[in-house]
Amino acid sequence: MMDQLEQLKQMTSVVADTGDIDAIARFKPVDATTNPSLMLKAAQDTKYAHLLQTAKQQAEALGGSNADILQNMTDQLAVLLGSEISQMIPGRISTEVDARLSFDTQATLAKARQLIEMYAKLGVGRERVLIKIASTWEGIQAAKILENEGIQCNLTLLFGFSQAKACAEAGVFLISPFVGRILDWHKARYPDQDFSGELDPGVASVSRIYRYYKAHGYDTVVMGASFRNIGEIRSLAGCDRLTISPALMQELSDSEETLERRLSAENPQSDDQKAAIDETAFRWQMNEDAMATEKLAEGIRNFAADQVKLETLLSKL
């Protein structure tokens, strides 16, 4: 009998939500994804000390101001770690653009192109990389341009349906709707409400997006992210992809109960009519969605804070 992780892999592409190379080797996901928080955790682990030193040497060789060198160090570390991970997975590694660029389309474009060039120098082609960008209007427009250049993107910090619609219209390769953080918001505001199983608002959000995409013929991949428990994962079995932490992958691998498919691309039905979305509509719909607005802003702030912590750590090398 296959354990639940192996059963899940039969219907969904499993992605490792970690920068831990050992965990990736153990659970054998198709893809892997990192973010500033995971990068910070990796940078504090002695087994990655060699990557930190290499990143420092390469950044110093490029020269520039202290700020330039420090920024280059973080980029070099992200790409060096991503390159190592890419050797252990058959699919792609997602590497994130600095969250502080989330409201600057041109700066996001420049950083994304730079990261792709850095990967190329290490022999990792763009077909093995996804550029992670926050799902702001500016980020989505940057992704639209990058996709047309053959640089595929993973739009992260996605909480609202308007973000999902805009990403699909922009032709984004993949989105990462955050299941657990949606649940966090609702539990904080409605502590006495039952959010178990199918009542989980994060699960409901991803299911709605998935059905909308499939029913209306969008090619954008839906990858549920930010899980709080394996119940959320089970409720999304069949989604295109799910990015899962090592701890939750272990829980799934410890269970041999039958895993039921919950989402399917066959004969999909959606209650939402297909509709284009422009900037005005996007901003208004986000304004009307307090959860999406607050969690997007919070996520950007937290990723930016961890980026600063990472830079502080690297500056002491």
Q: Which amino acid is at 103?
A: F
Distance separating alpha carbons of residues 184 and 229, to the nearest angstrom? 12
Beta partners for residue 17, in sequence order: 33
Q: Is 132 annotated in the active site? A: yes
Out of 111, 132, 214, 295, which one is annotated catalytic? 132
Distance separating alpha carbons of residues 20 and 144, to the nearest angstrom? 30
C-alpha of 167 from chain center: 14
Residue among 242, 89, 78 at smallest CA distance from 174: 242
Contacts of 164 (CB under 8 A, 6+ apart): 158, 175, 177, 209, 212, 213
Which tokens go with 292? 């999406």
Residue 10: burial class (beta carbons within 10 Å; 0-12, 13-18, 19+) = exposed
Residues catalogued as catalytic: 132
